[in-house]
Amino acid sequence: MLYKAEIFGKDPKNPERVYYITADNIVDATIKARVKLKEENPNDELRVGRVEEVKGDVVDVSLP
């Protein structure tokens, strides 16, 4: 399933970035988001906020 993880900084109402993560369940998606965030910003004060399943049809628009 596809999950959307919102990443927050100092402003708790506006996410600084959004990750879209493929995982089996919401717990795995949260863990993957935390790992990805630490890899990209090891010293940053960002945190993983809301993680939710993306509903509806998902279309992959990535370029080869």
> Given this model, what pLDDT does residue 12 score?
83
30 located within any domain = yes
Domain containing 38: what range? 2-53
- 24-47 pLDDT per residue, tens: 999 999 999 999 999 988 888 899
28 located within any domain = yes
Residue 63: pLDDT band (50, 70, 90) is: low
Q: How many domains does the chain have?
A: 1
34 located within any domain = yes
> Does the pTM of the predicted model rise above 0.85?
no
6 located within any domain = yes
Q: What's the token pair of residue 36?
A: 């990805």
61 located within any domain = no
